[in-house]
Chains A and B, each alone.
With several copies, the nearest count.
Chain A
Amino acid sequence: MRLDFGDALNLALREEMRRDPRVYCIGEDIVLGVPFGVTKGLSDEFGPERVLNAPISEAAIVGSALGAAMTGLVPVVDMHFADFVTCAMDEVANQIAKSRYMFGGQIDCPLVLRMPYGIGRSGGGHHSNSVEAWFLNVPGLKLCIPSTPADARGLLKTAIRDPDPVLLFEHRGLYRLGGEVPEAETLVPLGVADVKRPGRDVTVIATARMVHESLEAARRLAEEGIEVEVVDPRSLVPLDRATLAGSVRRTNHVVIAEEGPMRGSTGAWLAWVVMEDCFDDLDAPIARVAGPNIPIPFSPPLEAFATPKADDVVGAVRQVLK
């Protein structure tokens, strides 16, 4: 069936809440599903006990999820905007990520943090950030970052069933993107990358919105006979290094594309992974596409400047091939 990204997530939530009475959703304004509509209608089906409109208390929303997860429930937290995870950073980085480990495996922590993130529509400095890189450096968390409706649904379902804490990064610019979603309940496993487009000349490793920019770049470059392979890791922790390396060994050229700022980012980490696994396979230095090292500005031309696009991927591909 055809669904958009947001509705695919909504479907995943419905399916999992029907399957498992322990699953509940909590977040700000989720009963009406404001602003992105992902949780819309859930409270009609599952009632207010399982779809909790929380007060504006991010630390308590996220901290309470840990308490519930440790004692038998499966919380799915809606961060509203991933930017506000800063307001619950201790609960994520020191409590949720570490409790199982520090307690010697005595407790499980099956919870999901849904992180609507990303640039667009002049959201400005407090509603546009890519923050997934922080959590790569926090051992104890699993991280997913889907780019299509099918992956979004499949990864969210897997995340909900996973016994460990999973952060799902949902680019807010993709919510209304349509795509084919299997009729049957289909899970997408963590740690399995997906080749969104095969190609022999260059491997472009891209996440979320940048997968689509990279596909657009690939279409343009194909007209010149340059065959770009677009690989979407889909989950960053665990990371499917084998698929990435397999592609690089065939193409010998790598571009890494992300939306967040260049410095200390996810792309820098992925570049290291490629270096470590494929140094001798590289015929040229890796090229990276990422945002500039600035907060996200408001004004459309400035925001556009801060937004990596297909053109940037095209440029990077030309660079690694020349």
Chain B
Amino acid sequence: MTTPGPDALLSMYAGMVRVRTFEERVRELFAAGRIPGFLHTSVGQEAIAAGTAAALRPDDYVLSTHRGHGHLVAKGGSLRGLMAELYGKANGICHGKGGTMHIADASVGYLGANGVLASGCVVAPGIGLSIKQRRSGQVVLTFFGDGAANRGPFHEGVNMAAIWALPVVFFCENNRWASTTASALSAAGGSIAARAAGYAIPGETIDGNDVLAVHAAVSRAAERARRGDGPSLIEARTIRWVGHFEGDAQAYRSKEEVAEGRRTDPIARLGRLLEARGLLDAAGAERIRTAVAAEIDDAVTHAEASPLPDPREALTDLFAYYPWRE
């Protein structure tokens, strides 16, 4: 496993900035009524999106969640296509049919956000089967939350991937909360990673706000998967800085938790390391922020200028083949 060099570190930094800026912009747009739907953003959890993407190959697959914008941004999805989709525009990557919770971008192996928790855990083994059969050497990484880990598909998917030694990485983003419900009160034993032992697969808990730890853990798991040694389970501890969804009053948690999140800001943390290594200075960081802001401005401008779909487009895309009139 190669430890990331200067370029890799800088691109992970830029990747986190891109995710953060994208999500913050989306929140503003939602507040301004430009974006519809039930919106869940990943502000504070950027190290996970950037670290996993950096450890994966471009042709590897990712299955995501209801909180998936960052995963797609980091995987290299088109910001224009993504933003236009969030707006529900005709040229959105899903023609406006998916929206925030159901976006996919097959061109970068991102096979879907998902409105149903833990669904990726059972879809992933099938992608693993096809990778194995095609001998493509790819890997599939499926994200799920600490709350989703309590659903049956987690168990069935991990077990299936384990017995067939499928190239799957099960990645749990533990941000302490499932909406208003504390993970500590809903996941028996308090550790998702500890469940790996029951299937005789590797399970580790990492600091999800340390992009290097995320990169290292996913690199290990991906190499193992490519070797044909089967799946791994990674639990990354992190903190969501914002509401579960936009509009969440957050009566269930203390301000202190968010403050803790800001203290452990994954972007600032890598920034300090890059400075220490002389790879980044204030001006350089500013350049990155400016460049990213420009990309996102472009995506917003594009989305704003794009047309809404014709209502009758609702009837398209259901079947690949359906010549019948009913």
Instruction: Please report A residues at the B interface, Cβ cutoff 8 Å.
Output: 24, 28-29, 31-32, 34-35, 49, 52-60, 62-73, 75, 83-84, 86-87, 90-91, 94-95, 98-109, 121-127, 139-140, 142, 162-164, 191, 238-239, 241, 292-295, 297-302, 304-306
Contacts and interface: CB of A to CB of B under 8 A. Distances in A.
Interface residues of B, number: 86
Given A56-B151, A100-B318, A121-B38, A63 B324 contact: no
A104 B180 contact: no
B37 A121 contact: yes
Contacts of A83: 115-116
A301 to B, nearest CB: 5
A101 B152 CA distance: 26
B126 A65 contact: yes
Contacts of B150: 55-57
B151 A57 contact: yes
B310 interface: yes
Nearest to A75: B126
A247 B159 CA distance: 52
A87 B151 contact: yes
Contact of B96 (A67, A75, A298): A298
Contacts of B159: 55, 57, 60
7 contacts: A34-B179, A34-B180, A56-B181, A67-B126, A104-B94, A123-B38, A300-B308
A301 B310 CA distance: 7
Given A164-B320, A298-B96, 12 more contacts: A55-B186, A95-B123, A106-B104, A127-B101, A140-B319, A238-B326, A239-B324, A294-B314, A297-B97, A299-B36, A300-B308, A302-B97
B311 A304 contact: yes
Interface centre among B106, B117, B126, B324 (most CB of A within 10 A): B126
Contacts of A91: 119, 122
B123 A64 contact: yes
Given A57-B151, A57-B152, A305 B312 contact: yes
Contacts, number: 292
B148 interface: yes
Nearest to A127: B115
B180 A126 contact: no
A305 B164 CA distance: 45
Nearest to B321: A163
B37 A67 contact: no
B129 A103 contact: no
A63 B111 CA distance: 13
Interface of B: 36-38, 61, 63, 88-90, 92-106, 111-112, 114-119, 121-131, 133-134, 140, 147-148, 150-153, 156-157, 159-160, 163-164, 178-181, 185-187, 244-245, 248, 251-252, 308-322, 324, 326
Contact of A64 (B101, B106, B126, B309): B126
A182 B163 CA distance: 41
A59 B156 contact: yes
A87 B116 contact: yes
Contacts of B320: 100, 105, 108-109, 163-164
Given A67-B123, A69-B126, A124-B37, A298 B157 contact: no
Contacts of A57: 122, 150-152, 156, 159-160
Interface centre among B116, B148, B150 (most CB of A within 10 A): B116
A294 to B, nearest CB: 6
